Amino acid sequence: MLNTKQLAVPQHIGFIMDGNRRWAKERGLHTLEGHRRGYDNIKKVLQWCIDRGVKVVTVYAFSTENWNRPKNEVKYLMRLLAWAFKKELIDLQKKNVKVNFFGRLEGLPKNVQKELLVLLEKTKYNTKAVLNLAINYGGRAEILDAIKKLMKKSAEAFQLTELNFRNFLYNSSVPDPDLIIRTSGEQRLSGFLLWEAAYAELYFTKRKWPEFSEKDLDVAIEDFAQRKRNFGA
């Protein structure tokens, strides 16, 4: 494992988990198997991050645009989410990990909402690390939803600042990401944390999400540690 004692370890890492379908296709497997393997890797990556002192992990699990995928794929992903929320509760409790939700809850199937809300409630007092699940999420949707909330508080609008605008985002208590890692070779944010990622360091790897390894994480953290962050100063 990477010796992080002498490195500036990012406290919040966001993951754009790209490449599940391509990984499966390259191996002659069904697309859905790629998503299952991708789910398995989330658990590993979360633990690797915790082991290295990362306090917050955000995963882009399902975007607002993903509803346009084939119906059987979307149906499978929703079943996988509901199953995972229930299955992983005990392990997340043992790890002392708090789970947050980023996205539009009302757009999810009722069974997914039910299991997700239980997961959020049961883990809300955990303190070791935070796992943010971006599901039915889009950066533009988040900003639009924040503006809609803001419009209901017109008296505050005249004193609007970047700082208090955060209060209208999906979760204002979560610090901005220090590092965003996207797998599978694409070099764009695809709507991920558009407001929060203003000064995040970006790292792109050709490794597809199901094959993203502990070594790959260490390389990304080492790369991050070499960068000079001045936040526009």
pLDDT in tens, 76-87: 999 999 999 999
Binned at pLDDT 50, 70 and 90, residue 115 comes out as very high
Q: Among this protein's residues, is 68 annotated catalytic?
A: no
Please report which helix (H) or strand (E) contains residue 33, including its range. helix 31-51
Residues forming a β-bridge with 131: 57, 99
Q: Catalytic: which of 3, 40, 51, 66?
A: 66
DSSP letter (8 states) at residue 166: G
Q: What is the mean pLDDT of residues 118-134?
A: 98
Inter-residue contact 166 to 91 (CB < 8 Å): no
> What are the Cα distances from residue 217, in Å, to 32, 94, 127?
25, 23, 23
Question: Which is catalytic among the residues 3, 18, 40, 176?
Answer: 18
Q: What is the pLDDT of residue 155?
A: 60
What is the per-residue pLDDT for 6? 67
Domains of the chain: 12-225 (3.40.1180.10)
Whole-prediction pTM: 0.94
pLDDT at 154: 64
From edge to edge, which strands make up the β-sheet containing 12-16?
97-102, 129-137, 56-63, 12-16, 179-182, 201-204
Check residue 138 and give its pLDDT. Answer: 98
Q: Does residue 231 surpass a pLDDT of 90?
A: no
Q: Across the chain, what does the average pLDDT equal?
A: 94
Q: Note if 51 is an active site residue.
A: no
